[in-house]
Amino acid sequence: MKILVTGGAGFIGSAVIRHIVNNTGDSVINLDKLTYAGNLQSLDSVSTSDRYTFEQVDICQRTELDRLLLEHEPDAVMHLAAESHVDRSIDGPDAFILTNVVGTYTLLESVRQYWQGLSGERKANFRFHHVSTDEVYGDLEGPDELFQETTPYAPSSPYSASKASSDHLVRAWYRTYGLPILITNCSNNYGPFHFPEKLIPLIILNALECKPLPVYGNGRQIRDWLYVEDHARALYAVVTQGEVGETYNVGGHNEKENIDVVHALCDLLDQLRPLKGEQPGSYRALVTYVKDRPGHDQRYAIDATKIQKSLGWVPQESFETGIRKTVEWYLENLEWCRAVQDGSYQRERLGASVKE
């Protein structure tokens, strides 16, 4: 197969591309605008492969999308390009509406035109896979409730509302035009190459600099944590084996309160990179509670039964194994982190070009 991945320089997108190049015989076209969250250094390990091509394109640019599809003739599109940080969506919703809603619409129309021009097996086998989030469901009340594929949408933030909008557009293009779509909704991802504004890398890097470790409210918000490489395997299973028109929830079976995640990170750092001094103490002493986020959802939890039963996917990492791998990766890749923190990684976008 030849798979077009939008947002392929992002956290999850780059994990998907690394998985495809390293574990399959498929080819990948990486389409990315290279916003602040797009980092081509996350793809250094596969960038020289003859099965990898990069295109710097904005999904809101219809003409460029049309050109790219006709030129590369993909067999599937995996749509991961999105603005995804809740705090940023609260401070400035405009970019989220533009990229997540208008961008998804523009991409759908371009892909629909391309798909309608295909014939025979190529048309029958084509897939459009839209990657979304469990945040579209809002939050859960009871301790035993789980998000299922049929859970009603109740988004709380501008980010989750924009993703819910894009999900509805994708389903409408399936119902109205017959575009062969698949949708996945995933829980919180973590792992290597995660942009440092997100909770886990932020805590790790702040701790290493002995800075405060900010925790919203009382820290009792619950999330289901999914190791990013497990998610990449799930997404590939869906695009290659999933049933057209279906939605699959992807979760890690790892519900944790935010404060417990922070404490787990502190404890691992105490082992792997202990504080120095006569009385070093623990990184836990750096935990600082800050004013809660507006409209903060209390609990997310995924029921991943459907993808397990129908596609045979199960996460390989527990939270304990995944979080240790994550901390070890950051300790071993501080240069990547520094390049993100000082902005030098962004210079790559100035020289980004199509790979010959």
Residues 205-215 have pLDDT tens digits of 999 999 999 99
Which among 311, 216, 206, 215 is positioned nearest to 269, based on CA atoms? 206
**202 pLDDT exceeds 90?**
yes
Q: What is the mean pLDDT of residues 132-160?
A: 93
Cα–Cα distance measured from residue 266 to residue 273, given in angstroms and rounded to the nearest whole number:
10
Q: What is the mean pLDDT of residues 307-331?
A: 97
**355 pLDDT exceeds 60?**
no
Q: Which residues are catalytic?
A: 134-135, 159
What pLDDT is recorded for position 41?
92
What pLDDT is recorded for position 342?
73
What pLDDT is recorded for position 354?
37
**31 pLDDT exceeds 70?**
yes
Please give the domain boundaries of the chain with CATH numbers for all domains. Answer: 2-194+224-253+298-318+346-351 (3.40.50.720)
Tokens 């690394």 sit on residue: 18
When pLDDT is cut at 50, 70 and 90, the band that residue 356 belongs to is: very low
**27 pLDDT exceeds 80?**
yes
- Proportion of the chain above pLDDT 90, given as a percent: 84
**Residues 320-340: tens digit of each pLDDT:** 999 999 999 999 999 888 888
Q: What is the mean pLDDT of residues 136-160?
A: 92
335 or 348: which carries more pLDDT confidence? 335
**169 pLDDT exceeds 90?**
yes
**196 pLDDT exceeds 90?**
no
- Proportion of the chain above pLDDT 70, given as a percent: 96
Q: What pTM does this model have?
A: 0.93
Lowest mean pLDDT among 40-49, 76-85, 293-302, 343-352: 343-352
When pLDDT is cut at 50, 70 and 90, the band that residue 295 belongs to is: confident
Average model confidence (pLDDT) across the chain: 93
State the virtual CA torsion across 106, 107, 108, 112 in degrees, nearest 10.
110
Q: What is the mean pLDDT of residues 16-41?
A: 95
Q: What is the mean pLDDT of residues 276-285?
A: 81
**137 pLDDT exceeds 70?**
yes
| Burial (0-12, 13-18, 19+ Cβ within 10 Å), 119 | exposed
What pLDDT is recorded for position 195?
86
Strands 255-257 and 222-227: antiparallel
Cα–Cα distance measured from residue 28 to residue 77, given in angstroms and rounded to the nearest whole number:
10
Q: Is the CB of residue 99 less than 8 Å from the CB of residue 82?
A: yes
When pLDDT is cut at 50, 70 and 90, the band that residue 278 belongs to is: low
